């Protein structure tokens, strides 16, 4: 038989898969780039043109305001790029063609890295545009905290992607994975956080919640960093429908501590990757 | 005798309580074309999936002759098997162009980079898909997708080609083409392993047939050798001119009388009620004899010499498909009755 180098040794198959995956996701990527540029310009430039909407006092506040939608962007991109990473091979049966040609873990690693490159590029473009606009409005130098925020955003997107990959490892269809992960990430965590804060107040920080950990992206831009990180907001007024004064107190965790947030994001990504790998190993075509 | 390139030893696969493959033993030699025949659910695809390392066997092992000279246990071969090209099930592709897909697959299987484009063009031309090279596969018809499935199995020029139901979903013309391609692979000295439930497709191209039923191999040999288990064999003779209807009955009586010693004495009425039949449309005689080669020779000698004044035999054939169908039916019957005995 013809002598050929075993494809498992070396990382070539992973690199080929990364390149192929990037080509495969090209249209989705372009769509997100357009959306990203629109959001960045809407929040960072168009809104500032409205006379009633005053420009933030400092460059950091400007970044913080303009990054409000970053978590939505990361959530959507993570769900749409990573949801099909494993389950599509089983659901669409493309695995029959590719599994005999490449070690299946290498295939998934390649697909994962290909998508990660695209998603990180999207986030990077967003931050670059914000940095440019920040420079345009406030002059240089760019506050270094934006780089920390960028770092956290990258870590957050990796944690999100591992979370979605985990779901992809056992779900049957890509669409179901997208819907389920979007529901959990958008609503599930938020509802759980509200309940936890309502019940436990400042006794229990919702560190389990990816949505809460995501607040570190803008939280890290605070200078000084918030202390205490738990606040209570009281709303009240005179003369409600039943007369007398009515007061409502809402508790809120502003952001996780930097060290804790980063550690948990790392744990999240490791934990979900391990779970995804175990389920993927057990799954049969 | 050529060397064994693929060997299945007591291969077993269970899904819960259901045993899909039961202790299969099979040897595939270099250059052979082997057919794995069985009804749907017999265990063909499961067997192929185990060879492709998509499924892990519960017990038994698969040995493959890799680049090293010895047969190696597939579990110890550290990677995907680049010596084998697989077409498993109905092929499903990522929605990319045929060229992008084939280039990716060729890269994965370590085909020399400078030759990939030549190889892609060559195969697309062979399968008449050149014009579709830069079209996305979602625009492909079922037949074209199936062809692309075969191309991807061949893209890295493997020594062994394993095709699972390659004719599924194809029109008759495309099936003929696929058979032609398989024969071409045979002529190149490739080892081909075809799984199918279509006996005709298999009998036309394969040197040896492995009959599989309920996860067990119930027979593995050439069609002719497998046919030895049959008590009845069929011989079809084509005549130069049609027989006159008025002369037919006395002629058939004479024939039956003269060939009687060679005919099947216990002909299964399910096959035929009479041992010699005339088919006016085909202008031919169908003779059910006792299956011995000597008998076949004698029958032909008598037909040609002694009935020269009645008709002229211009050709004769033993239809492999119907023979294989009967072999298969017989073996399945034996298999079931053996189980019953146990």
In chain A, where the domains are located:
12-282
A48 pLDDT above the threshold of 50: yes
Query: Any chain B CB within 8 A of the CB of A282?
Result: no
Residue B81: pLDDT band by 50, 70, 90 thresholds? low
A162 pLDDT above the threshold of 50: yes
Rounded to whole angstroms, the Cα distance separating A236 from A234 reads: 7
A3 → closest Cβ in B67, B80, B107:
B67
**What residues of chain A lie within 8 A of the CB of B92, using their CB?**
92-94, 96-97
pTM of the model: 0.81
Rounded to whole angstroms, the Cα distance separating B67 from A4 reads: 8
Rounded to whole angstroms, the Cα distance separating B265 from B250 reads: 20
Residue B267: pLDDT band by 50, 70, 90 thresholds? confident
Token couple for A197: 């804060």
Contact A122, A36 (CB under 8 A): yes
Tens of pLDDT, residue by residue over B115-124, are 999 999 999 9
Contact A120, A27 (CB under 8 A): no
Say if the Cβ atoms of B92 and A93 lie within 8 Å: yes
Q: Once rounded to an integer, what is the mean pLDDT over residues B233-261?
A: 89
Contact A68, A43 (CB under 8 A): yes
Contact B88, B54 (CB under 8 A): yes
C-alpha A84: how far from chain center: 17
Domain with CATH 3.30.70.100 in chain B: 231-321
CATH class of the domain whose range is B4-228: alpha beta
pLDDT for the residue B72:
83
Rounded to whole angstroms, the Cα distance separating A217 from A160 reads: 13
pLDDT for the residue A3:
42
B53 Cα to chain A: minimum distance (Å): 7
Pairing of strands B33-37, B191-196: parallel
Tens of pLDDT, residue by residue over B123-142, are 999 888 999 999 999 999 88
pLDDT for the residue B289:
85
A124 pLDDT above the threshold of 90: yes
Residues of B engaging A, defined by a Cβ cutoff of 8 Å: 49, 52-55, 65-67, 78-84, 86, 88-96, 100, 104-105, 107-110, 149, 152, 157, 159
Q: Once rounded to an integer, what is the mean pLDDT over residues A238-245?
A: 59
A248 pLDDT above the threshold of 90: no
pLDDT for the residue A7:
45
pLDDT for the residue A2:
40
Where does residue A162 rank: exposed (0-12), middle (13-18), buried (19+ CB within 10 A)? Answer: buried
B67 pLDDT above the threshold of 70: no
pLDDT for the residue A1:
42
Domain with CATH 3.40.50.300 in chain B: 4-228
B335 pLDDT above the threshold of 50: yes
Our separate counts of H helices and E strands in chain A read 14, 2
Contact B97, B45 (CB under 8 A): no
- Among A231-245, B64-78, B128-142, B283-297, the range with the most confident prediction by mean pLDDT is B128-142
pLDDT for the residue B341:
43
What mean pLDDT, rounded, does chain B reach? Answer: 85
B261 Cα to chain A: minimum distance (Å): 52
Rounded to whole angstroms, the Cα distance separating B12 from B241 reads: 55
Residue B337: pLDDT band by 50, 70, 90 thresholds? low
Query: How crowded is the C-beta side of B313, counted as CA atoms within 13 Å?
Result: 20
**Percentage of the residues of chain A whose pLDDT score is greater than 70:** 93
**What residues of chain B lie within 8 A of the CB of A7, using their CB?**
79-80, 82, 108-110
Q: Once rounded to an integer, what is the mean pLDDT over residues A46-54?
A: 79
Asked if the peptide bond before residue A62 counts as cis, ω within 30 degrees of 0, the response is no
Q: Once rounded to an integer, what is the mean pLDDT over residues A266-282?
A: 92
**What residues of chain A lie within 8 A of the CB of B81, using their CB?**
100
E strand or H helix at B285: strand B284-289
Which residues have a Cβ under 8 Å from the Cβ of A122 and sit 6 or more positions away?
Answer: A29, A32, A33, A36, A73, A77
B184 pLDDT above the threshold of 70: yes
pLDDT for the residue A241:
58
**Percentage of the residues of chain B whose pLDDT score is greater than 90:** 33
pLDDT for the residue A23:
95
How many other C-beta atoms are found inside a 10 Å radius of the C-beta of residue B247? 11
Assigned fold of B231-321: Alpha-Beta Plaits (3.30.70)
Residue B322: pLDDT band by 50, 70, 90 thresholds? low
């Amino acid at each position: 038989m013809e002598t050929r180098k075993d494809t498992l040794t070396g990382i070539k198959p992973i690199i080929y898969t990364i390149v192929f995956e990037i080509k495969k996701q090209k249209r989705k990527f372009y769509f997100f780039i357009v959306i990203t540029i629109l959001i960045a310009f809407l929040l960072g430039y168009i809104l500032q043109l409205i006379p009633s909407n005053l420009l933030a006092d400092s460059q950091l506040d400007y970044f913080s305001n303009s990054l409000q939608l970053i978590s939505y962007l990361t959530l959507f991109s993570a769900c749409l790029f990573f949801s099909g990473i494993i389950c599509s091979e089983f659901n669409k049966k493309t695995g029959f063609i590719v599994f005999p040609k490449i070690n299946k873990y290498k295939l998934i690693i390649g697909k994962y890295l290909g998508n990660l490159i695209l998603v990180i590029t999207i986030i990077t473009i967003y931050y670059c545009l914000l940095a440019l606009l920040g420079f345009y409005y406030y002059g240089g130098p760019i506050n270094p905290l934006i780089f920390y925020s960028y770092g956290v955003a990258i870590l957050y997107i990796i944690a999100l992607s591992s979370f979605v990959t985990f779901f992809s490892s056992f779900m049957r269809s890509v669409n179901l994975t997208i819907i389920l992960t979007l529901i959990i990430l958008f609503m599930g965590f938020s509802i759980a956080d509200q309940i936890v804060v309502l019940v436990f107040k400042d006794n229990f920080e919702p560190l389990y919640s990816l949505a809460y950990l995501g607040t570190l992206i803008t939280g890290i831009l605070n200078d000084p960093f918030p202390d205490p990180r738990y606040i209570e907001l009281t709303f009240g007024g005179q003369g409600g429908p039943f007369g007398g004064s009515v007061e409502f107190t809402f508790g809120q965790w502003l952001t996780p501590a930097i060290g804790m947030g980063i550690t948990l994001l790392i744990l999240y990504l490791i934990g979900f990757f391990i779970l995804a790998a175990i389920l993927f190993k057990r799954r049969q075509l | 005798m050529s060397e064994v390139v693929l060997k299945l030893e007591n291969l077993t696969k269970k899904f819960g309580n259901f045993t899909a493959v039961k202790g299969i033993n099979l040897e595939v030699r270099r250059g052979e074309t082997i057919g794995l025949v069985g009804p749907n659910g017999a265990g063909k695809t499961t067997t192929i999936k185990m060879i492709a390392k998509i499924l892990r066997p519960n017990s038994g092992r698969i040995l493959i002759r890799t680049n090293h000279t010895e047969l190696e246990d597939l579990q110890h071969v550290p990677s995907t098997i680049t010596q084998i090209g697989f077409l498993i099930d109905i092929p499903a592709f990522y929605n990319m162009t045929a060229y992008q897909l084939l280039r990716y697959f060729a890269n994965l299987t370590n085909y020399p980079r400078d030759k990939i484009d030549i190889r892609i063009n060559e195969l697309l031309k062979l399968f008449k898909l050149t014009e579709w090279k830069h079209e996305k596969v979602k625009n492909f018809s079922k037949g074209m997708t199936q062809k692309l499935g075969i191309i991807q199995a061949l893209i890295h020029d493997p020594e062994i080609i394993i095709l699972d139901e390659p004719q599924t979903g194809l029109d008759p013309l495309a099936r003929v083409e696929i058979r032609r391609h398989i024969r071409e692979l045979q002529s190149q000295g490739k080892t081909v392993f075809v799984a199918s439930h279509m006996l005709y497709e298999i009998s036309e191209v394969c040197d040896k047939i492995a009959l599989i039923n309920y996860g067990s191999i119930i027979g593995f040999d050439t069609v002719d050798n497998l046919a030895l288990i049959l008590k009845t064999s069929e011989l079809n003779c084509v005549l130069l001119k049609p027989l006159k209807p008025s002369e037919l009955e006395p002629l058939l009586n004479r024939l039956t009388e003269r060939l009687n010693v060679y005919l099947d004495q216990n002909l299964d009425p399910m096959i035929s009620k009479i041992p010699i039949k005339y088919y006016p449309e085909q202008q031919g005689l169908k003779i059910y004899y006792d299956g011995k080669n000597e008998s076949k020779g004698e029958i032909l000698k008598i037909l040609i010499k002694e009935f020269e004044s009645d008709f002229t035999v211009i050709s004769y054939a033993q239809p492999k498909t119907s023979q294989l169908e009967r072999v298969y039916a017989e073996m399945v019957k034996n298999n079931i009755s053996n189980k019953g005995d146990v």
